[in-house]
Amino acid sequence: MEFVRKWFLLLPMVLLLLCYCNFSAAADPAAAPALPGIAAKCNECHELAVSRFEGSHHAKAWVGSDRTCTNCHGNADTHMSAGDGKNIISFKTKDKELREGLAAQCLTCHNTTAHLAMWNIGDHKKNGVTCVDCHNIHVPATQRIPTSETCLKCHKQVENDLRKQSHHPILEGKVGCKDCHNPHGTTNKHQLKAPTTNLLCYKCHTNKRGPFKWEHPPVEEDCLICHNAHGSRNDRLLKKKLPSLCIDCHANRSGSGTVFGHEDGLNTYSAGRGCAGCHSKLHGDNNAAKGKTFVY
């Protein structure tokens, strides 16, 4: 029944979308703007690059303007006359000194772009990352890959954390790297989008914001004392398995079975969810009568 219900909803929407096909087919190729002079010249040798570029966001934005290949690649006169593939700004260059100038080339247009305001002080610039390491200018807009996929090409250990059993749904596409980080730079550590870890986490986990009647000190100070933000082999992104994490601070206990590995078996502290089984309000408790126990 579920199968029928979902398809019943899905199919009409898909059929509606298919209506676009006719309009797409109706578009007159002849109506496409002719390549500006220099681009036509470039097209003689770089047909694939030019044709791909035509589908890109840049090309769409430049329709009607006089901007063309040389705005990014620089003056091509010497390049064309020599015909040796040199004397042109190539964004694929592996020359380290030339690479350092590539971002400046982009910034000739994007120097008033607000989200690049902190680029100069960001970690990516500091570590030699340049615009085209992440952005492919010639890729048609319809073929762009998700931002997180781009990030994980370099941040491979983060990708591995995201494969672990407890993780933020980044590989699943429900949360993106840029939800927490600004790859273009911020004044904060790890290019975070908030001045402290907690203030960042509270943006989504608003229920943890409190303020609670009873507060748990490490929770108030830094979520990362207990959690790995990207992923963990332990439940709930915890850095260390419960109850071991808790007892590192709460290091004295009383009663039989205090020590894990009691001959009668595991006890309340160390079975099931560990301490969190009973202390389920350990992020903060709004029950004044319960005191600092964080139970219930």
Partner 1 sequence: MKKLLIVLSAWMMLLPAGLTAKETFGFVDLGNNFRNTDAKNASPFLKFRDKNSTVKGDAAVSVYEPGRYFDVLFSDIAQDTAEYGLSGGKYEKYSYKFGYNGIVNNSTFGARTPYALRGTTLVYGVGSGSGSGNSKNTDLDNWGTIDYSKENKNLYADVKYKLNENMYFGLDANKVASSGIAPRYRYGYQVIDEDTTNVALEGGFKSDIFFASLKGTLSKFEQNITTYKAYAEGINVDAYGTGKQGSYQLVNDPSNDSLTVELSSALYNLPLSTTVALNVTRTSSTSESNMSDGQPPGGYANYGAGTAPNPNLIAALLTGSGGDALATYKGDHTYLTGNVIVKSNPISSLNTTLYYKYLDKKNESTHFYSSAKGESENFAYDKKNMGLDVDYKLPLSTKISAGYGQLKIKREDRGDAAKTDDKVISVGLRNDALDFISGGEKYTNTKRESTMGDAATEGSGPTDSAYIERFNRRFDDTDKKEKRLTATADLAILSDLDVTLEYSSVKNDYDKTTIGRLSDDRSIIFGQVDYALFSWMNISAFYEREKVQYLSKQRAMGTGAGFSYDPGAAATATTYNYDITYDDKVATYGAALTMKFMDEKLKTTLGYEKQDGDGNLNNAIQAGGSTTEGQPISDFGDYVLTRIKARFDYEISRDVSAGLRYTYERSRWEDSMWKVQTDGSSYTYDSAYADVNYVAQEIFASASYRF
Query: Does residue 104 belong to the site contacting partner 1 (CB under 8 A)?
Result: no
Part of the chain binding partner 1 (CB under 8 A), chosen from 38-46, 67-75, 82-90, 107-115: 107-115
Binding mask 114-143 for partner 1 (x = CB under 8 A): x--xx-xx----x-------------xxx-
Part of the chain binding partner 1 (CB under 8 A), chosen from 73-81, 82-90, 129-137, 282-290: 282-290
Among positions 30, 222, 230, 275, the unique one binding partner 1 when judged by CB under 8 A: 222
Distance CA 253, CA 235 (A): 24
Work out the burial of residue 80: count CB atoms within 10 Å of its CB; fewer than 13 is exposed, 13-18 middle, 19 or more buried: middle
Which 8-state DSSP code applies to residue 188?
Answer: S
- Whether 148 and 84 have beta carbons less than 8 Å apart is answered as no
Query: Does residue 210 belong to the site contacting partner 1 (CB under 8 A)?
Result: yes
Query: Does residue 43 belong to the site contacting partner 1 (CB under 8 A)?
Result: no
Region 229-258 residues binding partner 1, contact defined as CB under 8 A: 233-235, 240-241, 244, 247-249, 251-254, 257-258
Among positions 24, 48, 83, 85, the unique one binding partner 1 when judged by CB under 8 A: 24
CB atoms inside a 10 Å sphere around CB 237: 19
Part of the chain binding partner 1 (CB under 8 A), chosen from 37-45, 71-79, 80-88, 193-201: 193-201
Part of the chain binding partner 1 (CB under 8 A), chosen from 36-44, 58-66, 71-79, 176-184: 58-66
Distance CA 187, CA 121 (A): 7
Q: How many residues would you count in the chain?
A: 296
- Whether 269 and 278 have beta carbons less than 8 Å apart is answered as no
Query: Does residue 101 belong to the site contacting partner 1 (CB under 8 A)?
Result: no
Distance CA 154, CA 216 (A): 36
Distance CA 53, CA 40 (A): 13
Closest to partner 1 by CB, 81 vs 142, is 142
